[in-house]
Structure 1
């Protein structure tokens, strides 16, 4: 269970964060949350699909790394082999928490950076320091805070994006059947993709609204990203062959 604490220069002055990519640090993910603001970078490597929460019915965009639980085909003993890693993965072991603060006698919510002290990435020996030896934030901490703010805003925008797709009935479930070189067959279900026929059928006003919201470009990037399925299958074939 996570043990989150507000990041502060007194309690965490000697804390370092291990940034290496490895399964032992929780990077053996087969998909992770992504959002339109990072689609341009994510779609260069990963197929982008959509996942539906069975409890709320809401959709989120996800970048796919493998075909089954705990399978990240971009990850090996030498690290994560892609020039971009989604912010939802990079953020570990940090989270944003809302804390009630009083300023000028007025209470309001303020976003604060928290750290999971039980994460294997937290160290006193190796990694990137949070604070400078004689006080002040390290560049790593400042960059992390900026990334976390971008992730927070991106997640909000991402929810609006997927809700817009749902309202326009553009999302449809799909099944991916994969036959590997060794003859083994795999089926991936539970994800959604954009229905291109319904997208093509939108009227001028609907398309303009998507363009004005900067969602039209994101839609086409998500569609284009599906070409990465082929390279993902190639990675899977290479892994299976190496293990044979």
Structure 2
């Protein structure tokens, strides 16, 4: 559990933020709607159900069987695109904190190196930029939820059947992820398809399903790190099983 506290001068005056550092323990990261095409160039994109609301979130899969971000090496993120939630994981919005922020004191990007959070006791311009970036991300994640709500309303969301196998013959099922059912999409009435197309949701659905090919890249990264090799044995959606 992260130690998240409202940002204050008394306790955080000497802290610095190294924006090049990314934590390595996250396997799934939430993304906003504007990040969909960028993230799809590197990682598989899926849907995951929010345990509190039951709504589906748009997420990027950055790890497989272990709680490890496979794109992180030497505390740096090695991919074409790094999701904004990973870039900003050291901070939260908090109206009780300086600049409207809270800080995750144990985040690897927070420490003695990088840009200072305060200069002579006053908040640095960095904090204003971080707060604005977080507000933008919150709005963007909301737009992603609205997109996925539309898929759910059209009964297009299907469980993702993803199973990997190690050299020892043991199967590893990656559970709790969802995607768009291609056959369900093809069965939609023409008017609904046109509506999804004009809203941009049809193109986004195509990106989501196409990005699943990046699971193979995750396997390559996993295997290259010297872990027990994994291979994909099943990667599909069950179009006979609705998520509702």
- Do the two structures share a fold, i.e. TM-score over 0.5? yes
Q: Secondary structure at the match of 1:175?
A: strand
Residue 202 in 1 paired to residue 188 in 2?
yes
Taking the aligned partners of 2:107 and 2:218, their CA distance within structure 1 comes to 29
For 2:101, the equivalent position in structure 1 comes to 113
Deviates more, 1:38-47 or 1:204-213: 204-213
Can you list the C-alpha shifts for 1:62-100, whole angstroms capped at 9, x where unaligned?
10111124122212236221121111111121112357x
Name the structure 1 match of 2:238: none
| TM-score, normalised by the number of residues in structure 2 | 0.79
Q: How many residues align?
A: 226
Whole-angstrom distance in 2 between the partners of 1:173 and 1:186:
16
Deviation at 1:228, TM superposition (A): 0.4
Distance 2:107 2:215 in 1: 32
3-state SS in 2 of match to 1:41 = helix
Equivalent in the alignment of 1:4: 5
Q: 2:204 aligns with which of 208, 214, 218?
A: 218
Q: TM-score, normalised by structure 1?
A: 0.79
Distance 1:199 1:189, change over 3 A: same
Alignment partner, residue 231 of structure 1: 217
C-alpha separation in 2, matches of 1:53 and 1:137: 35
Q: What aligned pairs does 1:127-142 form with structure 2 within 5 A after superposition?
A: 127-132=114-119, 137-138=124-125, 140-142=126-128
How far 1:163 sits from its partner (Å)?
A: 1.1
Tell me, in whole angstroms, the C-alpha distance in 2 between the residues paired with 1:194 and 1:152.
Answer: 23
Give the match's secondary structure for 2:161. strand
Q: What is the Cα deviation at residue 120 of structure 1? A: 4.7
Q: Which 4+ stretches in 1 moved above 6 angstroms?
A: none
- Match of 2:18? 18
Which structure 2 segments of 5+ residues have no match?
230-244
Instruction: In structure 1, list runs of 5 or more residues that go unmatched.
Output: 100-110
1:180 deviation in Å? Answer: 4.3
Q: What is the CA RMSD across the aligned residues, in angstroms?
A: 2.9
